[in-house]
């Protein structure tokens, strides 16, 4: 089986630090934070992508929420409402990854409908060109 070649890479600026991630391999289940998974499952059909949950954006948000969970002293998980303050002033950019010579390589990629809804919910600015 060929190795997964990502189609996008995203970077998140939050609290003065930059975190990056690529989209995920569809042959394995993404390690989505429960708050992200619940949000995506509750989206109306018009905002649900067939590849929902495998994007670089959802991986980055999940990574941040898993990190916030580690800071909690209780057994509970971070909710999206809890995390809104953490993402205050945050910004995200996504770029296309294409084969060498492809003019689309490195160009801006808009978040999919599912990710756009999640980023809007958390107040994360999407940086375009």
Q: Which helix (H) or strand (E) holds 126?
A: strand 125-126
Are the beta carbons of 98 and 116 closer than 8 angstroms?
no
Mean pLDDT, range 5-22, rounded to an integer: 93
Which residues lie below 8 Å from residue 48, measured CB to CB, with a gap of 6+?
40, 113, 114
Mean pLDDT of the chain: 93
Cα–Cα distance, 11 to 20 (Å, whole number): 4
Res. 1 pLDDT band, cuts 50 70 90? very low
Query: What pLDDT is stored for residue 25 in this prediction?
Result: 83
Phi first, then psi, for residue 96 (nearest 5°) are -80, 140
What digits encode the pLDDT tens for the residues 15-68?
999 999 999 887 888 999 999 999 999 999 999 999 999 999 999 999 999 999
């Amino acid at each position: 089986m060929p190795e997964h070649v990502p189609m996008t890479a995203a970077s998140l600026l939050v609290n003065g630090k930059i975190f990056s991630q690529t989209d995920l391999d569809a042959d394995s289940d993404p390690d989505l934070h429960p708050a992200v998974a619940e949000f995506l499952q509750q989206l109306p059909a018009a905002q649900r992508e067939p590849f929902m949950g495998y994007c670089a954006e959802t991986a980055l948000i999940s990574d941040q929420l898993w990190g916030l969970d580690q800071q909690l002293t209780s057994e509970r998980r971070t909710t999206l409402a809890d995390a809104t303050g953490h993402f205050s002033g945050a910004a995200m950019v996504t770029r296309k990854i294409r084969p060498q010579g492809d003019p689309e390589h490195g160009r801006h990629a808009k978040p999919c409908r599912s990710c756009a809804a999640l980023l809007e919910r958390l107040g994360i600015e999407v940086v375009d060109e």
